[in-house]
Amino acid sequence: MKRRLWISLALLLIIPGLLLTVSCAKKAVQSESEVIQPEEKDNSEAEEAARQVEIDRQTEIDRQAEIDRQEEIERDRKLEEERLQAQSLRAEEANREMMVARNMFINEDIHFDFDSAIILFSAQDLLKEKARWLEENSDVTIIIEGHCDERGTSAYNLALGDRRAESVKTFLIDLGIASSRLTTISYGEERPVDDASTEEAWAKNRRAHLIIE
């Protein structure tokens, strides 16, 4: 289809061209000898063909330029699209990372030894992570809950849970977190995460749990 269009376009240019050539030739014939007329006619025909080629070439170039331009626009559009997509992906990724960090902050408890409120060496990295997160999220205030396992007696465990929460608070303050952002609550043995009476459950229940206010 396209090809035929171009051909007809070319013909449209050639026919008036031919007419123009003929009228010119007639004038020449009038002023010059008749002998050379056929030759002149031949020449003009060749010229005409050359011009036609030239025109065709030019048209082709224009056409190509137009195609290139269109392609470039398309390419740019695509690039922009990709850029935007990547950007939103990155934002999503960042958001997800933030959520992961936030969830980690909430979900990962600090665990303690039996009848102890001392921050274990193994819990220090976790607390440092939490402090970093708190630094990055400086508008957040948190509640530190202190919990105990079911062993022991209830009032003592409430006091012990209080000490565990206070230990975590002190540690975070030492890492530069403002104390005004940290509140403590002790639940003693009243809110276990695991109701079983096993060493494993007890270890899980001896914890400080952080909550974002």
Partner 1 sequence: MQLCLSPHAQIDKIMKYYFKIFFFIIITGLFAGVLVCQAEYDYIDINNPFLRKIPIAIPFFKSIGDGPEAAKASVAGSDLLSETLEFTGYFKMLDRGAFLSDSQSSLIAPKINFRNWTFIKAELLITGGILIKNNVVEMELRLFDTFKERLLIGKRYKGWKKDQRKIIRRFCDEVVYHLTGKHGIFSTKLAFVSDSTGNKEIYICDFDGHDPKRFTHNKTITLFPAWSSSGKQLAYTSFIRGKPDLFIKNINKKRGFRLVKKGIQIAPAWVPGKYMLSATLSFSGDQEIYLLTGEGKIINRLTKSRGIDVDATWSPDGKKMAFVSKRSGTPQIYIKEIASDRVSRLTYDGRYNTQPSWSPHGDKIAYSAMSGTQINIIVIDIKSGKLLKLTDGQGDNESPTWSPDSSLIAFSSTREGQSKIYVMTMYGTDQRRLFTMAGEQTDPAWSPGFANK
Look up residue 196 and give its DSSP letter. Answer: -
Q: Where in 104-123 is the site for partner 1 (CB under 8 A)? A: 115
Does position 194 interact with partner 1 (CB under 8 A)? The reply is no
- Select the residue interacting with partner 1 from 123, 134, 160, 210 (CB under 8 A): 160
Distance CA(52)–CA(41), nearest Å, equals 16
Tally DSSP H helices, then E strands, for the chain: 5, 4
In whole angstroms, the minimum distance from the beta carbon of 114 to partner 1 comes to 10
Residue 161 CB, shortest distance to partner 1, in Å, is: 8
Report the residue from 130, 163, 164, 209 that binds partner 1 according to the rule CB under 8 A.
Answer: 163
Stretch that binds partner 1, among 1-9, 22-30, 75-83, 150-158 (CB under 8 A): 150-158
Residue with Cβ nearer partner 1 (10 or 185) = 185
Least distance between partner 1 and beta carbon 112 (Å): 14
Strand 142-147 vs strand 207-212: parallel, antiparallel, or unpaired?
Answer: antiparallel
Q: Is 49 left (phi over 0), alpha (psi -120 to 50) or beta?
A: alpha
Question: How far apart, in whole angstroms, are the C-alpha atoms of residue 121 and residue 66?
Answer: 70
Give min distance, CB of 150 to partner 1, in A: 9
Sketch the per residue contact string, 68 through 97, with partner 1: x for CB under 8 A, - otherwise.
------------------------------
Closest to 13 in 3D by CA, of 75, 60, 56 = 56
30 binds partner 1 (CB under 8 A): no
Nearer to partner 1, 67 or 211 (CB): 211
Residues pairing with 144 in the sheet: 184, 210
> What is the distance between the terminal CA atoms of the chain, rounded to a whole angstrom?
69
Q: Catalogue the E-assigned strands of 37-140.
A: 110-111
Cβ-contact 140, 134 below 8 angstroms? yes
Q: Is 162 in the site for partner 1 (CB under 8 A)?
A: yes
Q: Which amino acid is at 72?
A: E
Nearer to partner 1, 133 or 182 (CB): 182
**Chain residues that interact with partner 1, rule: CB under 8 A:** 115, 151-156, 158-160, 162-163, 166, 184-188, 190
